[in-house]
Structure 1
Amino acid sequence: MSATDIGSGAKAPAVELELRGKVLWVRLQRPEVLNAINEEIVEGLSAAVDRASRKDVRAMVIRGTGRAFCAGADLMEVPGAIIDTARIKATVERVAAVVERIAALPKPVIAGVNGLCAAGGLEIVLACDLVVAVAGARFADAHSNYGLLPGAGGSARLPRAVGEPMAKRLMFTGDFVTAEELAPLGFIALIVPTDTLDEALEALGNSLAARSPRVMAAMKRLVTAGGDSTLNEALRAEDETLTAYLETPDVVAGLAAFRQGKRPTFDD
């Protein structure tokens, strides 16, 4: 299935959606422009979040096509003669809104970085929960290269993901940094050979989808909020969340499966 219906001879959608079991695969498909973000990409990602919000989806994978994950905004679509700043701001706000929806999705989101990732593409990745990158994948903020600023959460999320010194390096210089350099900072969950990316994404996605969706949502909420809380506030939130969770059927299912030496199955 895709974000838009594909008729005979019709142009492929900029974002293709495919449900594999309980994992929604989202593929950016503008390889001729390094999957640069345009209105179609924004609409496709929004449709992906809508689809991922349904009960039959427990995890989402976002990956690029070709040699890039996403190179950021398609600057060729910005009119050259007269710069309409109001239009630029409105476009950035639409991108920021869909990135925020990805971050707020109460389900695990995995970024599959298949190559180059820059600017708005990096902001999409920063909104994901886990990053799986191919060996040699390159990341850059890149906004400073063209006198621009991040507008979809990059300046807020990047320091939290890689630390302030690396964030400043990426933002100030616009230079590319490899997955291998970022992995020790905790930003990259897994680095895999290029030809095994889909296999790794499928294994991780299916593993997460097999777990309690209530647990996944609660863990995501606690970890995300915990970074902006005091230790006492985070501990209190954990206690309150656990107390509520103990009343769910997942506890019975999980403990019963443990006693029987089986893997638990959880309802939606």
Structure 2
Amino acid sequence: MTDAPQTLSVERVGRTEWITFRRTDQLNAMSMQMLREMTAALETAIADDAVRAIVLTGSGRAFCAGADLKEVAGATHAPGAPDLLDLVDRAFGLMRHGPKPVIAAVNGLAMAGGLEMVMACDLVFAAESAKLGDAHSNFGVFPGAGGAAILPRRIGLNRAKYLLFSGETVSAQDMMDWGLVNTVVPDAQLRGSVQALTDRLADKSPAVLRRMKAVANRSLNVDEAAALAEEMLNLRAHMRSWDMREGLTAFTEKRKPQFRGY
């Protein structure tokens, strides 16, 4: 029997796994323990067929203020032991490349590694009061999980350079206008709005969403012809799936499909 997590809570609502960061006094800054617990929660949710979507959110006034810089400053590691960067890479990799939709419900401040975590998610909902920014330059820290590498792809090079160089935060509405945030909602409606979306996603074919996520992610790194070729290969594979056959049968019979994810 594993110990209950200390830095976050995990709650199942319908077919959605909510992972809520609970380091409230530290603005949910990522410690090594929090990253280990987040990785374990993500792995468990990914392996559970009953879970159709994963949501990350924070408690208090922050989503995540980045890495725990006090821990970083005093860190010592045994030879060969994973350090904080290794743990970030593992957790964020599960979010980026895992087979299930991962949604950021940004309830407050998302800075530095917190912004990078947002960018590792598939979709982003934000409360009206949320503020997002890179902030690494404020502490002489270089980004390592997408601040300089991914942010320009999401909001454009000039805007990204401004946030990187200045260390300033901007509003959730600005980030939606710039293309990083999908939806901005009143603070009190954040959880309900995200749950409404994930309830709809739960009715979709997991096999379709899994393939869509993989092909869409890779499309940014190849030319148009290669992206279209990969899409066609995935369609041909999907045509042999239970879910496509069930979807077409349900359409013909005018009933709701019962997808299995394969």
Same fold judged by TM-score > 0.5? yes
Query: Is 1:56 equivalent to 2:56 in the alignment?
Result: no
Query: Is 1:145 equivalent to 2:113 in the alignment?
Result: no
Q: Tell me the alpha carbon deviations over residues 96-132 of structure 1, each in whole angstroms, 9 at most, x when there is no partner.
A: 2211221111110000000110011111111000000
1:28 to partner: Cα distance: 0.5
Question: What's 1:8 paired with?
Answer: none
Query: Is 1:194 equivalent to 2:172 in the alignment?
Result: no
Name the SS for the 2:247 alignment partner: helix
Matches within 5 A, 1:209-248: 209-248=202-241
- Check whether the contact 2:9–2:20 (CA below 8 A) recurs between aligned residues: yes
Look up the equivalent residue of 2:36 and give its one-letter code: E
Separation in 2 of the partners of 1:252 and 1:174? 51
1:79 to partner: Cα distance: 4.2
User: Of the candidates 172, 197, 213, which is equivalent to residue 179 of structure 1?
Assistant: 172
Look up the equivalent residue of 2:31 and give its one-letter code: N
- Check whether the contact 2:36–2:87 (CA below 8 A) recurs between aligned residues: no
What percent identity do the matched residue pairs reach? Answer: 39
1:157 to partner: Cα distance: 1.8
Query: Is 1:128 equivalent to 2:128 in the alignment?
Result: no
Query: Is 1:96 equivalent to 2:89 in the alignment?
Result: yes
Root-mean-square deviation (Å)? 2.0
Query: Is 1:21 equivalent to 2:14 in the alignment?
Result: yes
- Check whether the contact 1:15–1:40 (CA below 8 A) recurs between aligned residues: no
- Check whether the contact 1:72–1:118 (CA below 8 A) recurs between aligned residues: yes
- Check whether the contact 1:253–1:265 (CA below 8 A) recurs between aligned residues: yes
Look up the equivalent residue of 1:234 and give its one-letter code: A
Question: What's 2:65 paired with?
Answer: 71
Separation in 1 of the partners of 2:9 and 2:130? 22
Range 89-98 or range 193-202, more displaced? 89-98
- Check whether the contact 1:71–1:117 (CA below 8 A) recurs between aligned residues: yes
Name the SS for the 1:155 alignment partner: coil
Q: Tell me the alpha carbon deviations over residues 160-219 of structure 1, each in whole angstroms, 9 at most, x when there is no partner.
A: 221211111111110001111111222111111111111011111111121101000000
- The count of aligned residue pairs is 257
- Check whether the contact 2:38–2:91 (CA below 8 A) recurs between aligned residues: yes
Structure 1 gap segments, 5+ residues each: 6-11
Structure 2 gap segments, 5+ residues each: none
Look up the equivalent residue of 1:244 and give its one-letter code: A
Look up the equivalent residue of 2:198 and give its one-letter code: G
Q: For the structure 1 residues 85 and 118, does the alpha-carbon distance in structure 2 shift closer, same or farther, using more than 3 Å as the test?
A: farther
- Check whether the contact 1:59–1:208 (CA below 8 A) recurs between aligned residues: yes
Separation in 1 of the partners of 2:165 and 2:78? 25
- Check whether the contact 2:147–2:164 (CA below 8 A) recurs between aligned residues: no
Query: Is 1:42 equivalent to 2:64 in the alignment?
Result: no
Separation in 2 of the partners of 1:195 and 1:172? 33
User: Of the candidates 249, 252, 255, which is equivalent to residue 245 of structure 2?
Assistant: 252
Name the SS for the 2:10 alignment partner: strand
1:84 to partner: Cα distance: 6.2
